[in-house]
């Protein structure tokens, strides 16, 4: 069974940094592109970016590429999202997804709240 389990969310102050993790199981992690998607409290979905199966290439939403970095550790079957200089508009639930063309499996999500 494919499982994606995110962690690392919480309450952070504007301007701070935060790193989310996603541990994958139930499939060969190193065979798949992976991505992060976020959903605002108003239910808007935004694709953040993805990373190639070997970690050699990444794509980002243009509005986020200067502050967010996606990486992976295939030995640990773990995907990461490094968020820097966070803003109130980054408040959202962050999902880790496996990509097969479009995202097919999603984690349960982790909440990030940016507030002073």
Partner 1 sequence: NTVMTQSPTSMFTSVGDRVTISCKASQNVGINVAWYQQETGQSPKRLIYWASNRDTGVPDRFTGSGSGTDFTLTISNMQAEDPAIYYCLQHNSYPLTFGSGTKLEIK
- Residue ranges binding partner 1 (CB under 8 A): 35, 43-47, 49-50, 59-62, 95, 100-104, 106-109
Q: CB nearer to partner 1: give 15 or 41.
A: 41
Closest distance of CB 102 from partner 1, Å: 4
Which residue in the block uniquely carries the two structure tokens 């952070």? 12
Using an 8 Å Cβ cutoff, are 60 and 68 in contact?
yes
The least distance separating partner 1 from the CB of residue 75, rounded to whole angstroms, comes to 26
CB of 38 to partner 1, least distance (A): 11
Segments in the chain forming alpha helices (H): none
Closer CB to partner 1, 29 or 60, in the complex: 60
- Angstrom distance (rounded) from CA 73 to CA 85: 24
β-strand 18-25 against 3-7: which pairing, if any? antiparallel
């Amino acid at each position: 069974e494919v499982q994606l389990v995110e962690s690392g969310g919480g309450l952070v102050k504007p301007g701070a940094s935060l790193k989310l993790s996603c541990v994958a199981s139930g499939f060969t992690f190193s065979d798949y592109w992976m991505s992060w998607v976020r959903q605002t409290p108003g239910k808007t979905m935004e694709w953040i970016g993805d990373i190639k199966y070997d970690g050699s290439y990444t794509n980002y939403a243009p509005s986020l590429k200067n502050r967010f970095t996606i990486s992976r550790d295939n030995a640990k079957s773990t995907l990461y999202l490094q968020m820097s200089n966070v803003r109130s508009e980054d408040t959202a639930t962050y999902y880790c997804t496996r990509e097969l063309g479009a995202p097919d499996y999603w984690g349960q999500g982790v909440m990030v709240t940016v507030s002073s």
